[in-house]
C-alpha cells in the first residue's frame, strides 16, 4: 500500500494548485464560448465564394455557417443566397435552374423570385394563391473585388454592419489572386488563432521561402484597433509573418515579405477571410495583393504561376498539418498558454464579450 504524503503543504504548492484551477476554469469558460459559436457568430458578413465560381444559369451549392445554401445570379446580374431547401418538399434548390429573375426547383418546378418568395407553382396553374404563402429563407449578399459575401442574420433583420471592403479588394492600384482553401477537421477558431499567432512562423514554416526567417524568441504585443486588434512581434517587422491586423470576428490583414526574386512590388498584402463550413471544417479565402499594375503585375503573375504559388503551398501545407493535428477542441483539453499567445488570449476575449452580450 502506498505511503500517504505527510510533508507539510508549502505556500508555493497552494499557489500552484490555485494556478492550475484558474487555468482549468478559464479553459472551461472558453470552451463554452467556442461551442456556442462553433458554426459562426451570426449578424456578421462572411466570405462565401469567389465570383468566378458562380455560373450564369446554375446555382452554386455551398455549405457555410452549418447551413446548406444555394447562391445564384439572376439574368440582370443580381446575386441571391437561399437556404438550399425548397419550400415544397425540401429538394435542394441548388439542383434547380435560373430562368430570368427566378430560381426554379428541379423537382416540381416551383419558382422563386430573388427575395425567396414563391411566385409560381406550375402544377397548380402558376401564380396561384398557394404560391403567395410559400417562401424560402434568403440572406443579403454583396460582391467586392471578385469575392461574394453573405450576411447571416439570426432574426431576418437587414444588415447592421458594413460588409468588409478593404481598399486592396477593389482598387485598380492593387493586383493579385484570390486563393481558396478548404480545411476539413479544422474549426474556424483554430484558423483564427493561427492568424494572430505570428511566432509560429519561424518554427512551423522553417525552410520555406520567407516565413521561416527571423528570431525564434520574441515578445508579442497587442494593440486595440477599431473593430479588432493589431498583433505584432516586438523584435522584428517584415522579416517573416510578424504582424496581423485582426478584424472581429472573421478576417485578418497580414503582410508577407517578398525578396527581389519575387518581382517588383515589395511585400505581399494578404487579406484572409475565414468562414465556418460547419463546426468541423473551415473555408478560407486568401486574397493576395501587391500595389502594382501593368508590366509589374505581369511579371508577378508569371513568377506566381512559375514558382511562387508552389512556395505558398509549402507554407499552407504546414499550417494545415499543424491545425488538423490539434484535433478540434481536443487542443483545449490541456492547453497551456504562454506570453507568445497574447494575440489568441485577446481575440478570445472579444468572442467572450460577444457571448456575454448575447446571454444578457
Residues touching Fe ion, count (CB under 5 A)? 1
At residue 200's C-alpha, the angle toward residues 195 and 201, to 5°, is: 90
Question: Are 78 and 88 spatial neighbours (Cβ–Cβ below 8 Å)?
Answer: no
* Closer residue to Fe ion, CB minimum distance, 49 or 323: 323
Q: Which does 105 bind (CB under 5 to 8 A by kind): ligand FES, Fe ion, none?
A: ligand FES
What single-letter DSSP state applies at residue 268? E
Burial 60-99 (b: 16+ CB within 10 A, else e): bebebbebbbbbbbbeeeebbbbbbbbbbeebbbbebbbe
Give me the residues paired with residue 166 across strands.
none
Q: How far is it, in rounded angstroms, from Cα 259 to Cα 85?
A: 49
The site that binds ligand FES (CB under 6 A) totals a number of residues, namely: 9
What's the closest the beta carbon of residue 316 comes to Fe ion, in angstroms? 8
Torsion sign across C-alpha atoms 19, 22, 27, 28: positive
Count other Cβ atoms within 10 Å, centred on residue 135. 16
* Nearest distance, CB of residue 118 and ligand FES, angstroms: 9
Smallest separation, CB 321 to Fe ion (Å) = 10
Q: Distance between CA atoms of 193 and 117, rounded to whole angstroms?
A: 40
Please identify, using beta-carbon distances, which residue of 70 and 105 lies nearer to ligand FES. Answer: 105
* Dist CA 141 CA 157 (whole Å): 13
193 binds Fe ion (CB under 5 A): no
In degrees rounded to 5, what are phi and psi of residue 339? -55, -35
107 binds, among ligand FES, Fe ion, none (CB under 5 to 8 A by kind): ligand FES
- Which C-beta is closer to ligand FES: that of 109 or that of 146? 109
26-34, 100-108, 313-321, 343-351 -> range binding ligand FES (CB under 6 A): 100-108
130 binds ligand FES (CB under 6 A): no
329 binds ligand FES (CB under 6 A): no
* C-alpha cell at position 280: 468541423
Q: Candidates 27, 42, 88, 349: give the one binding ligand FES (CB under 6 A).
A: 88
CB 230 within 8 A of CB 243: yes
CB of 108 to ligand FES, least distance (A): 3
Residues 105-124 that bind ligand FES (CB under 6 A): 105, 107-110
> Quick one: which of 242, 278, 319, 320 contacts Fe ion (CB under 5 A)?
319
Choose the stretch contacting Fe ion; rule: CB under 5 A; options: 85-93, 218-226, 262-270, 313-321.
313-321
Q: Which residues bind Fe ion (CB under 5 A)?
A: 319
Contacting residues toward ligand FES, per CB under 6 A: 86, 88-89, 91, 105, 107-110
Amino acid at each position: 500500500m502506498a505511503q500517504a504524503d505527510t510533508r507539510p503543504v508549502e505556500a508555493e504548492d497552494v499557489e500552484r494548485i490555485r494556478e492550475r484551477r484558474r487555468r482549468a476554469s478559464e479553459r472551461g469558460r472558453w470552451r463554452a464560448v467556442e461551442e456556442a459559436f462553433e458554426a459562426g457568430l451570426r449578424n456578421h458578413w462572411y466570405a462565401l465564394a469567389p465570383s468566378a465560381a458562380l455560373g450564369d444559369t446554375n446555382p452554386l451549392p455551398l455549405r457555410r455557417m452549418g447551413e446548406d445554401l444555394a447562391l445564384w445570379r439572376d439574368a440582370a446580374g443580381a446575386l441571391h443566397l437561399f437556404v438550399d431547401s425548397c419550400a415544397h418538399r425540401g429538394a435542394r434548390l441548388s439542383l434547380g435552374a435560373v430562368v430570368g429573375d427566378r430560381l426554379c426547383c428541379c423537382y416540381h418546378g416551383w419558382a422563386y423570385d430573388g427575395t425567396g418568395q414563391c411566385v409560381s407553382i406550375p402544377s397548380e396553374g402558376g401564380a396561384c394563391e398557394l404560391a403567395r404563402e410559400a417562401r424560402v429563407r434568403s440572406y443579403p449578399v454583396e460582391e467586392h473585388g471578385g469575392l461574394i459575401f453573405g450576411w447571416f442574420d439570426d432574426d431576418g433583420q437587414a444588415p447592421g454592419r458594413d460588409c468588409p471592403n478593404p481598399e486592396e479588394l477593389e482598387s485598380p492600384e492593387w493586383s493579385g489572386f484570390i486563393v481558396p482553401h478548404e480545411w476539413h477537421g479544422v474549426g474556424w477558431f483554430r484558423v483564427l488563432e493561427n492568424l494572430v499567432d505570428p511566432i509560429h512562423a519561424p518554427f512551423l514554416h522553417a525552410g520555406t521561402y520567407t516565413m521561416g526567417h527571423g528570431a525564434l524568441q520574441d515578445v508579442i504585443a497587442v494593440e486595440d484597433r477599431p473593430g479588432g486588434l493589431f498583433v505584432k512581434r516586438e523584435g522584428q517587422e517584415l522579416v517573416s509573418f510578424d504582424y496581423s491586423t485582426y478584424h472581429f470576428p472573421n478576417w485578418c490583414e497580414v503582410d508577407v515579405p517578398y525578396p527581389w526574386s519575387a518581382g517588383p512590388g515589395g511585400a505581399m498584402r494578404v487579406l484572409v477571410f475565414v468562414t465556418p463550413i460547419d463546426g468541423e471544417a473551415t473555408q478560407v479565402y486568401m486574397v493576395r495583393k501587391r500595389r502594382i499594375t501593368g508590366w509589374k503585375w505581369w511579371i508577378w503573375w508569371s513568377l506566381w504561376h512559375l514558382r511562387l504559388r508552389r512556395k505558398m503551398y509549402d507554407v499552407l501545407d504546414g499550417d494545415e498539418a499543424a491545425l488538423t493535428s490539434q484535433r478540434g477542441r481536443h487542443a483545449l483539453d490541456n492547453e497551456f498558454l504562454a506570453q507568445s499567445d497574447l494575440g489568441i488570449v485577446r481575440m478570445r476575449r472579444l468572442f467572450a464579450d460577444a457571448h456575454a452580450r448575447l446571454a444578457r
